[in-house]
Every structure is written in C-alpha cells, then in structure tokens.
Structure 1
Amino acid sequence: MPDDAVELIGKAELPDGGRLHLWRRGDDYSIRFGDNELMGNQVRHSEEALATLACSRLQHRDSRILIGGLGMGFTLGAALQSLPSTAIISVAELVPEIVTWANGPLSHLFHDYLSDPRVKVEIADVHDVIAREKSAFDAILLDVDNGPDGLIHLANERLYCNWGLRAAHAALRPNGILAVWSAYGDEGFVARLENAHFDVEEVSVAALVDGEDVIHTIWLASKQDDCR
C-alpha cells in the first residue's frame, strides 16, 4: 500500500446512532465522526494541555481525578506525567472499541499508560460517573465531544447544561477543578459555569487541524467555596 493511501482500520457504533471511524495514513491516525476529526496523533497539544493546566492547579499529592474520554491517550499521558505516584486517575470511556483500539492499533501511542497502577478505566458514560459521586474528585477533565454540546453523543448535553454542571460541582472536592476541552469558544457556556458557582479561567491553545491553524479552548473552572 502506498504511504499516502488512507486505510479504514476500525469502526465503532455510538449508543444513540452514528459511527466513529479510525483511519490510518502512513504513521498518521485519525478518529473521525463524519467529516469531523475528533482526534489525530499529529494534533495533541491542546489535549495534553487539558491535563497539565488542571494538574498544575491541584493542591494534594493524593489527588483523585476523573477523565472523561480516552481518545488517543494524550490527556491521560499528560496527567500521568504531571501527577505523583500517590494520585488516582479514573477514566470513563463510553465506547468500548476505543479501549480496544488503545490496546491494539493505537497501542504505540498509549505506551504503558493503561497498565499504570494509578489508572482505572471504566466503560461508562462520564455523566453517570459524575452523578453518582459526591465530593470525590480533585479534578474532572472532560474531552468527550467537540465542545460543550452533544455533536457526537446527544446525551453529552447533560454534562454541559445547568443541572449537569451542578452535578460536577457536587462531585468535586473543595477547590476542585472542572476542566473542559472545546474546539471553539462559547460565551453561553462560560455563563452557565459561573451560574453553577465556578470561577472560570479560559485558555486559548493554538492547534493545526487538517492543515489549518485553529484555536482550541480550555476552560478551567474552580469550585467556589460553598460559604461564598
């Protein structure tokens, strides 16, 4: 096969319809939903920044964090590099095939992340994990869609609506951080975060997607003191 030939090497059905495709061209891999690239191994900086920015703000060595979405492992890898051996990292992945790819055609990108004793992967909707926990996490990192909406999985809208953000607030420990990755800015989402009693910092991260310069957005929402 020519080095520039595109090969489909995996498909994954989404719970509410639609399909993810894993493509390879030479050494480049891409997870796509229709025409939208959700993750590519050449575009990792902002996904890594989601973890490094959040982890740099944590106050405890035994921090417990929740990552929503396994992707190609860039956020998980950056979290592992940022956190000490006493930390605990839970990963909620909705699509079982993503985990299969992580142990198969994408294993060279994951290195030994999934065997790290700090890591536990659960096949679950991250919304459900958040909703069942109270004061459990020092940080919640969300990269489960293209932004604060339900483009890929309609039920993801539950994460970003007013009551979803209140659930995330309740699942965080004091001074905990909700970090959200997005392919675009969204003033309305910032307002919802503030209404849910978060102090919000917005960070813009340059990225190159399909040969075009773009700006990705990361929101770092710190849980306000309950007595404020």
Structure 2
Amino acid sequence: MSTAYPEETTVVLDRREGPFGEIVLRRRHDLLQIIANGTFLMDTSDGRSERLLVDAALDALPDDREHPDVLIGGLGVGFSLAHAAADPRWGRITVVEREPAIIDWHRDGPLTHLSAEALADPRTEIVEADLVHHIHTTTATYDALCLDIDNGPDWTVTEDNENLYSPAGLAACAARLNSGGVLAVWSAQPSANFERTLRNAGFRAVRTEEIPVVRGVPDVVHLAVRAA
C-alpha cells in the first residue's frame, strides 16, 4: 500500500505593483517570503543575520555612547526592527522602507505578529521613502546605519541601489553618521571590492563578520566606522 504525500505548495498572499515594480508576499509551508521583481529577498526562516546586523553595529560603537540612534534601511520581514526594539540600549529607531506594501503587511497584515510590539515602541518611526534618496537628502544624523535593502553591494535589487555602495553613496552615508558612528551593511556574500571602496571613502576599522549558514557561502555583515 503506497502513501500519498501532499505536494509542496506556495500560496501568494498579496501581489502588488509598487513604485519600484512588482512586490509579492507568499507563504511556503510555514515560511513567509518577500519577492521583488522575481528576486527572492528574504523569508522568516531564521533572522540570525538580521539580528547580527543590529548587534554588530551596537558593539562597534564607543562604550560611552548612551542610547545611540539607529537608522535601519529596509523593513523586510521585521527581524532587524524587532531585535533593535527589544534592546533598551538603543535610542531612536528609524526604519526607512520604500515599499508601501511591506509597511502595510506589518501594520495590518500577515507580518503583524513579527513587528507589532516593535511598531508600538515610542522609539520607533517608520519612514516611507527610498533609502538612497533619503540618505542623500535628509539632514538627520545617526550613530548607526544598518542597511539591508539588497542581496549585497554586488547584487542589488534595482540598478538605482548601486549608488548606495558607490563613493558618492558612501560619502552620503558618512554625512548621516555622527562622529565615530558605524555603518553596517548586510550581504549574501563577502565583497573585497566593497571593503576597498569603504576604505577609500575614508571609513576606518573596516571588517567583515560572517554569519554561518547551513550550506554554501556564509552571509556577512560589512562594518565600517566614520572617522572622528
């Protein structure tokens, strides 16, 4: 007697045309996945790398920096925001997200359970804006920038994002950082070229921290400090 097993199914929960193309939220088994223009961005399977992104930035700040302000670039599935909001050491937590759909999914949708407490935190502010434009135009400054809007400096979701990792983009990041502030950039793979670009842009203490994965090349967080 043979036993029939259900086929793997993927259910699309929402599909929209956003300001930068198609954005999809889908469920695969017990995982929620975000897909942008056909490119897989992230899912709810782990969150270690998003948490490390936030912790590594905080650990790299000077010990005397009380309640530092952080800008998180990209709301995603909410792991970075939730982790930052759970840490009382952070001060103001600003999240910049360009996709209205993702913000909606967190405020009143399938991702609410991951971020409701963090969104209710009085330190939290959600800014609906393109991160690259925001970095170049805002006058606000922060103690840390935690950026996770692409699969890495060498694998961007849209061509416009390439500016963020260029000399001009890194100069804008430095301008948004207070003296001694930390830039932390998530990537699906190491990038020696990006490390060189960071050093050439005047950042110091440039290093790459690996996040072990089950198989394949480790995820990484690129870290750099704005000179005093």
TM range (shorter): 0.7 to 0.9
- Alpha-carbon separation, structure 2, partners of 1:144 and 1:71: 8
Distance 1:135 1:173 in 2: 10
Cα displacement string for residues 37-72 of structure 1 (whole angstroms, at most 9, x for unaligned residues): 311111311111100111223342231111110001
Matched, 1:28 2:31: yes
Query: Greater Rg, structure 1 or structure 2?
Result: 2
Mapping of 1:200-215 within 5 angstroms? 200-208=206-214, 212-215=215-218
Q: 1:54 aligned to 57, 60, 64, which one?
A: 57
Give the aligned partner of residue 3 of structure 2.
Answer: none
2:58 and 2:87 mapped to 1: Cα distance? Answer: 6
Aligned residues: 219
Q: Does the aligned pair in 2 maintain the 1:181–1:218 contact within 8 Å?
A: yes
Equivalent AA in structure 2 for residue 161 of structure 1: S
Which residue in 1 is equivalent to 2:19? 15
Q: Percent identity?
A: 36
Cα deviation per residue 1:161-209 (whole Å; 9 max; x = unaligned)? 111001111111010001000011111111110011112011011124x
> Relative to structure 2, which stretch is displaced further, 119-128 or 59-68?
59-68
d(CA) in 1 for partners of 2:192, 2:18: 28
What TM-score, normalized to structure 1?
A: 0.88
Q: Distance in 2 between matches of 1:34 and 1:126?
A: 18
Query: Do 1:69 and 1:144's aligned partners in 2 also have CA atoms closer than 8 Å?
Result: yes
**Separation in 2, partners of 1:38, 1:81:** 24
Structure 1 residues not aligned, in runs of 5+ = none
Aligned partner letter, 1:56: D
Cα 1:72–1:5 change in 2 (3 A) is same
The offset of 1:34, in angstroms, is 5.5
Instruction: State the distance in 1 between where 2:7 and 2:120 align.
Output: 32
TM superposition shift of 1:155: 1.2
**Structure 2 residue corresponding to 1:99, chosen from 88, 98, 103:** 103
Give, in whole Å, the separation in 1 of the partners of 2:178 and 2:87: 19
- The root-mean-square deviation of aligned C-alpha atoms, in Å, is 2.0
Equivalence for 1:42: 45
CA distance in 1 between partners of 2:37 and 2:141 (Å):
36
Distance 1:58 1:80 in 2: 17
* 8 Å CA contact 1:46, 1:207 repeated in 2: no
Structure 2 letter corresponding to 1:180: V
TM-score by length of 2: 0.88
